Amino acid sequence: MQGAQERLHAARRNLEEDLPFAAVGLAYYAMLYAARAVLSEEDLYAKTHSGSWTLFNDAFVRTSRFPADAVSPVQGIRARREGADYEAENPSYEQAESDLRDAERFVAAVAALLEA
């Protein structure tokens, strides 16, 4: 979870410096690291991003242990991160800010799940 929190902090700094593409990437990785942290508590591991999200959905969303609306933004944020990384697409500041809020909500929900 420390890695997730650090990436949220770095995403906020990048957004403040008007670097929305970097903020989106860091927001996505904060979500992925949080998901992998809680999966590891269940002794579940995946080698890929897609595998991690499939395991997360199977273990926590489909079992109603995690709110589906908190994980639903992941695919859009992931697509924007990939667009920025591989296609030189630049998300708007407003979109990056929204993605960061979604990532903060997701990480907070994972933290609450870990504390339960």
Domains of the chain, earliest start first: 2-115 (1.20.120.330)
pTM of the model: 0.95
pLDDT of residue 7: 98
Which pLDDT value is given to residue 16?
96
What's the confidence (pLDDT) of residue 116? 81
Contact 8, 31 (CB under 8 A): no
Closest CA to 14 of 104, 107, 114, 96: 96
**CA gap 7, 1 in Å, rounded:** 10
Token couple for 69: 């609306």
Residues in contact with 67: Cβ distance below 8 Å, sequence separation at least 6, in sequence order: 61, 109
Residue 95 confidence (pLDDT): 97
pLDDT per residue over 80-95, tens digit each? 999 999 998 999 999 9
Distance CA 97, CA 24 (A): 8
pLDDT of residue 41: 96
pLDDT at 114: 94
Q: pLDDT, tens digit, for every residue of 39-67?
A: 999 999 999 999 999 999 999 999 999 99
